[in-house]
Amino acid sequence: MTKKLVLLISGRGSNLQSILRACQSGQVPDTAIVCVISNRADAPGLALAKQAGIPTQVMDHRNYPSRADFDAALRQGIDAHAPDLVVLAGFMRRLTVSFVTHYLGRLVNIHPSLLPAFPGLHTHARALEQGVCWHGATVHFVTPELDAGPSIVQAAVPVHPDDDPARLAERVLDAEHQIYPQALAAILSGHCRLEAGRVHWSTPFPAAAETVVHPQLTSVTMQTPSPGA
């Protein structure tokens, strides 16, 4: 049976696009994006979804009296589609504990840093300020604490001496587009799940995916927990 994804976005939608391509190409097999919900009416990602024939919905958080009210409405909007997985793809809103608890194990996020380094905003500028040699992206299960859920896949990219936040962001985004579909495929196929607060792998992450060489990158290294860890 086709697995259903609901994607939540706030902006550009490049991760939405890479996930859509992965569903269409079979990299994420038997899976369809059934709805894209944005909390911003002007999110460019909405047009990408519409072009692809995906139903979209705008739920502007400013129209709700409280964070709890918005999250309750969002939950209703999502559950109307009965998704297998709820995918945060650049959704720039903190979520309430009750929302996160409702979707525990079925809610994933991509964050532009090697968590637990640099949770929150402005990750690329902060990485450069710290002078780190490696930066990257993390796909993780969402838990109530912001950007603190257990990691499913991480990609590390080198920081170059002449990087500025925009250049570094571009390199990280390329890596994001590779690892998010891989993580979704692993979860939807049942190879990876959240159990007792930790990520469990029933089979090793595909060996071929452990190191990715990208033409514009020196290297992208996939880091995954060992199976059963």
Residues 47, 27: Cα–Cα separation, whole Å = 23
Of 35, 89, 155, 184, the one binding ligand GAR (CB under 6 A) is: 89
Binding mask 43-82 for ligand GAR (x = CB under 6 A): --x-------------------------------------
Cα 87 to Cα 47, 84, 163, 217: the distances in Å are: 18, 10, 30, 26
Residue 83 in the binding site for ligand GAR (CB under 6 A): no
- Nearest distance in Å: CB 135, ligand GAR: 12
Residues 174, 14: Cα–Cα separation, whole Å = 10
Tell me which amino acid residue 149 is.
Answer: G
- Nearest distance in Å: CB 82, ligand GAR: 24
- Nearest distance in Å: CB 15, ligand GAR: 3
Those residues whose C-beta lies under 8 Å from the C-beta of residue 25, and which sit 6 or more positions away, are none
Residues 46, 37: Cα–Cα separation, whole Å = 8
Of 3, 5, 14, 185, the one binding ligand GAR (CB under 6 A) is: 14
- Nearest distance in Å: CB 36, ligand GAR: 11
Decide whether 216 or 226 has the Cβ nearer to ligand GAR: 216
The set of catalytic residues is 111
Report which of 60, 67, 59, 66 is spatially closest to residue 95, judged by C-alpha positions.
67
- Nearest distance in Å: CB 18, ligand GAR: 8
Residues 178, 183: Cα–Cα separation, whole Å = 9
Q: How many CB atoms lie within 10 A of CB 202?
A: 12
Query: For residue 218, how far is the Cα from the chain centroid?
Result: 23
Decide whether 89 or 185 has the Cβ nearer to ligand GAR: 89
Of 7, 38, 70, 90, the one binding ligand GAR (CB under 6 A) is: 90
Q: What are phi and psi of 16, to 5 degrees?
A: -55, -45
DSSP class of residue 38?
A: E
Decide whether 106 or 135 has the Cβ nearer to ligand GAR: 135
Residues 196, 222: Cα–Cα separation, whole Å = 24
Residue 143 in the binding site for ligand GAR (CB under 6 A): no
Of 95, 174, 176, 205, the one binding ligand GAR (CB under 6 A) is: 176
- Per CB under 6 A, the segment of 12-20, 49-57, 100-108, 152-160 that binds ligand GAR is 12-20
Note the residues at the interface with ligand GAR (CB under 6 A).
9, 11-15, 45, 89-90, 110-112, 173, 176
